[in-house]
């Protein structure tokens, strides 16, 4: 009897082992798929993190360049204001000296011919400071109009280079890239030895890049590096050319 039951028991045992082996294979495949999915998920996260870090690094570089530009503009604004105050004081001292001479000079029998009216340094300083105040306050439209009027009314002013530069800056903030480029280019060409000339070339490159004229922007930045290699604007130009 046991001999007759032995084949049946063996068959049942083999079937149980085969089933267990099949179950183990399916479980292993499921585990492998789970591990593969986890690895893919981690890789996706790592790639996303790497892209985010790269974007953050680019943003940091752009912010550094913008901070350097703003710091330079702030220093120039402060110098312009100090120069304007000095010119105003000099004007009043000169006016006082002229009045003293008139008081001590005896009157002639025949009236002297009045010379042609000269530019009032006080009015010149006042108009320039007024435009600067508008620019500092973010009133770019009014500031550009103020600097344009100043350029027209005081053609021989020593503030002409700065007036053109700040007019360009105000226009650039209004997205008037063509108008800004005209003023920036004039500063660079007409007053190449002025302290604003390197920044004017940098601003000109910005207007060209804003108009998608990258070839012209590259030429302008290269010109800036060649002509003013030690300027702070040249450092920003190097960063832009690397990108």
pLDDT, tens only, 210-232: 999 999 999 999 999 999 999 99
Are 215 and 241 spatial neighbours (Cβ–Cβ below 8 Å)?
A: no
Please give the Cα distance from 239 to 127 (Å, whole number). 37
Q: Which fold has domain 11-101+122-242?
A: 1.25.40
Please give the Cα distance from 165 to 171 (Å, whole number). 10
Please give the Cα distance from 129 to 131 (Å, whole number). 5
The first and second tokens of residue 69, run together, are 């530009």
Q: How much is the pLDDT for 213?
A: 95
Q: How much is the pLDDT for 231?
A: 93
Q: How much is the pLDDT for 60?
A: 82
Q: Measured on CA atoms in the order 166, 169, 174, 179, is the torsion positive or negative?
A: positive
Q: Measured on CA atoms in the order 124, 129, 132, 133, is the torsion positive or negative?
A: negative
**How does DSSP assign 50-71, residue by residue?**
HHHHHHHHHHHHHHHHHHHHHH
The one-digit pLDDT tens for each residue of the chain (243 residues) are 545 544 554 455 455 555 555 556 677 777 787 887 887 787 778 778 778 887 777 778 777 767 766 766 666 666 666 666 655 555 555 555 555 555 555 544 444 444 445 678 888 999 999 999 999 999 999 999 999 999 999 999 999 999 999 999 999 999 999 999 999 999 999 999 999 999 999 999 999 999 999 999 999 999 999 999 999 999 999 999 987
Q: b or e along 146-177 (b: 16 or more beta carbons within 10 Å of the residue's beta carbon)?
A: bbbebbeebeebebbbbbbbbbbbbbbeeebb
Could you state, in order of their start, the residue ranges of all structural domains in the chain?
Answer: 11-101+122-242
Q: How much is the pLDDT for 109?
A: 45
């Amino acid at each position: 009897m046991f001999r007759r039951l032995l084949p049946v028991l063996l068959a049942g045992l083999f079937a149980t082992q085969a089933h267990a082996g099949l179950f183990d294979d399916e479980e292993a495949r499921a585990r492998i798929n789970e591990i593969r999915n986890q690895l893919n998920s981690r890789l996706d996260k790592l790639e996303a993190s790497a892209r985010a870090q790269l974007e953050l690094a680019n943003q940091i570089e752009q912010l550094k360049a913008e901070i350097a530009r703003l710091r330079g503009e702030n220093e120039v604004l402060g110098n312009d204001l100090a120069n304007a105050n000095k010119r105003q004081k000099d004007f009043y001292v000169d006016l006082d000296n002229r009045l003293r001479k008139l008081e001590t000079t005896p009157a002639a029998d025949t009236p002297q011919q009045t010379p042609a009216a000269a530019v009032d340094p006080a009015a010149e300083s006042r108009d320039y400071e007024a435009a600067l105040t508008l620019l500092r306050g973010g009133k770019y439209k009014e500031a550009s109009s103020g600097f344009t009027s100043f350029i027209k009314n005081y053609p021989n002013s020593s503030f002409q280079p700065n007036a053109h530069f700040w007019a360009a800056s105000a226009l650039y903030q209004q997205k008037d890239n063509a108008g800004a480029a005209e003023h920036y280019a004039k500063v660079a060409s007409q007053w190449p030895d002025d302290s604003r000339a390197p920044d004017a070339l940098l601003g000109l490159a910005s207007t060209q890049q804003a108009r998608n004229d990258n070839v012209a922007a590259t030429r302008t930045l290269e010109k800036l590096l060649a002509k003013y290699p030690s300027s702070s604007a040249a450092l920003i130009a190097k960063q832009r050319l690397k990108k």
